[in-house]
Structure 1
Amino acid sequence: MESSKVYHVGAAASLAVLIAWLLAWEMLVAPLKPGGSLLALKVIPLLIPLRGVLKRDVYTLQWTSMLILLYFAEGVVRGYSDLDATSRFMGLGEVALTLVYFACALLYLRPYKKAAKKMARDLLDKVNRATHE
């Protein structure tokens, strides 16, 4: 399998699993209140880019790599500060899933960034040549 495809599948899968993980955490596994809590609504910002990530939209993958850092921070805080051991485990699982997404998204975007830099460099060289003639 081509490496960019592996990175895309890794990003898409980790995002989908993260959504399911967070819903399960707040509704079933370790909710703040019995029967679930409104914290389950925190998955909504992750649902918005899901379609773009599945379609390999470069722009969506770029901005979600920054969005996912909010979930990383939440996972770290809850993984180390929650009193319930199950909730701490879920928080650390959230951290792992966000790291997988972040790494896969950046590795998938790497060739696009290199191509954009090369295009900008070539354009700048062309402008410099035109101004010196």
Structure 2
Amino acid sequence: MANTIKTLRYLALFSYCGLVIFVFAWHTLIAPSTMHSVWFQLLLYGLPLLFPLKGILQGKPYTHAWANFVLMWYFLHGLTVVYTSPEVRHLAIIEIILATGAFIGCTYYAQKQGRALGLGLKKKSEQD
């Protein structure tokens, strides 16, 4: 595995796993909401992160690519909380940083590793 691909994998892996740990800690230990139960928060905020986790840990490029759809939920959640809740703004900024790191790592890892493995769509000019 080339150094660039390995670096992107580590960025994706550490940011994604960090986001999983942080989201669970935020909504259960650090600042649980008083309006909703902890179980509801874990289902709403924690469960989506678990869907692509196995593929991320295994280093599958396809999973890294579609995990970005899940990551956008956390990026948008963080932006919303920064704007609406000053008391937990610092937590939302951490969420945004982790989601952004995971997004960048997943995107470029999927692209580079997919090309290295010969996966992906061929360009129209290459098909003719």
TM-score (norm 1): 0.79
Residue 73 of structure 1 and its aligned partner are, at CA, apart by 0.2
Residue 66 of structure 1 and its aligned partner are, at CA, apart by 1.8
1:104 aligns with 2:105: yes
Q: Which runs of 5+ in 1 are unaligned?
A: 126-133
Asked whether the equivalents of residues 12 and 103 of structure 2 are also in contact (C-alpha less than 8 Å), the reply is yes
Q: Please, what is the CA RMSD of the aligned residues?
A: 2.3
CA distance in 1, matches of 2:78, 2:123: 38
Equivalent residues, number: 121
CA distance in 2, matches of 1:73, 1:113: 30
Residue 60 of structure 1 and its aligned partner are, at CA, apart by 0.8
Asked whether the equivalents of residues 61 and 111 of structure 2 are also in contact (C-alpha less than 8 Å), the reply is no
CA distance in 2, matches of 1:120, 1:50: 33
Residue 83 of structure 1 and its aligned partner are, at CA, apart by 4.0
Asked whether the equivalents of residues 19 and 95 of structure 2 are also in contact (C-alpha less than 8 Å), the reply is yes
Aligned-partner residue type, residue 64 of structure 1: A
1:33 aligns with 2:46: no
Structure scoring higher RCO (CA < 8 A, sep ≥ 6) equals 2
Q: Describe how 1:1-133 pairs up with structure 2 within 5 A.
A: 2-33=3-34, 37=38, 38-41=40-43, 42-84=45-87, 87-111=88-112, 112=114, 116-118=120-122, 121-122=125-126, 124-125=127-128
Higher mean alpha-carbon deviation, 112-121 vs 49-58, is at 112-121
Asked whether the equivalents of residues 72 and 99 of structure 2 are also in contact (C-alpha less than 8 Å), the reply is yes
4+ residue stretches of structure 1 with deviation over 6 A? none
Aligned-partner residue type, residue 25 of structure 2: A
Aligned-partner residue type, residue 61 of structure 1: H
Q: Secondary structure at the match of 1:32?
A: coil
Residue 118 of structure 1 and its aligned partner are, at CA, apart by 4.7
Q: Which has the larger radius of gyration?
A: 1
